[in-house]
Amino acid sequence: VLRAEDYRVVFIVMGLIGVLLFAFPTLSLAVHLPGGEKFSELWVLGPGLMAEDYPFNVKADENYLVYLGVGNHIGSSAYYVVYVKFGNQTDALPNDTDAAPSPLLPLYEYRLILHDNENWTAPLNFSFSGVTFSGNTSTVKALTMNNVTFDVESSSLWNEESQGCFYRLFAELWVCDVDSNAVLYSNRFVSLTLNQTLVT
């Protein structure tokens, strides 16, 4: 059997619970709990929108297709720029440690604004033209991406160890930083290694 004092405690607890329930709608508007980890994603998929069948052995005047994708998980809308760059096997890739982008100039680019938790995927069609082989060197004169042709004039030496003349097609993810109002490299990149051949 409860005593009078116990009944008093029960009523006080009921009062507190009731006040909290009534305060909940206002608290949910005023108090914003911190979300989970904030990050951006960048990915490259093969022609079947799967992580397979990436182009590797490539030759002149042949069309290749990959898909680039970006995912926004930073807790608010974000403005992204994806720069597509091309270089040979000795050209510098972005530096993960220093969070520095590649010094190569971008060729193609995408600009997109994504809501939080929104993903974006776009095709990247590419082909090479003016490919020549001379001695142990291959040279690519032009690279066409999504029907825009760029003069690249890039050469690659025959790699004895890996048996190929390798180039890299890579994409860097840049994001607009609201505080500095500048588009900054987000230390995310994806890279395709391509072996320039006479036949595939």
Partner 1 sequence: MREAFNAVLKVEEAGANTSGLMTALNDAGSLLAKAEIAYRNGDSGEAAAYADNAFTKVESVLAGASGLEASSRAETQNAFLYSLAFSVLGALAFLVVLFLVWSLFKRVRTKKLYGMRPEVR
Sheet of 148-157, strands arranged across: 39-45, 64-73, 119-134, 137-145, 148-157
Using CB under 8 A as the criterion, what x/- string covers residues 138-167 for binding partner 1? ----------xxx-----------------
Query: φ, ψ for residue 15 (rounded to 5)?
Result: -60, -45
Q: How far is CA 34 from the centre of its chain?
A: 24
Q: Which residue has the tokens 């440690």?
A: 97
Q: How far is the CB of 24 from partner 1 (least distance, A)?
A: 8
Q: Under rule CB under 8 A, how many of the chain's residues touch partner 1?
A: 37
**Which of these segments, 47-55, 106-114, 128-136, 152-160, binds partner 1 (CB under 8 A)?**
106-114
Nearer to partner 1, 21 or 198 (CB): 21
Q: Of 26, 97, 134, 163, which lies in the binding site for partner 1, with binding defined by CB under 8 A?
A: 26
Nearest-CA neighbor of 189 among 92, 60, 52?
A: 92
Q: Which of 1, 22, 33, 135 binds partner 1 (CB under 8 A)?
A: 22
C-alpha to C-alpha distances, 108 to 1, 13, 93, 117, nearest whole angstrom: 80, 64, 16, 25
User: Cα–Cα distance between 83 and 68 in angstroms, integer?
Assistant: 11
> Interface residues for partner 1 in 56-95 (CB under 8 A)?
76-77, 79, 81
Interaction site with partner 1 (CB under 8 A): 4, 7-8, 11, 14-15, 18-19, 22-26, 29-30, 76-77, 79, 81, 105-113, 115, 148-150, 176, 178, 181-183
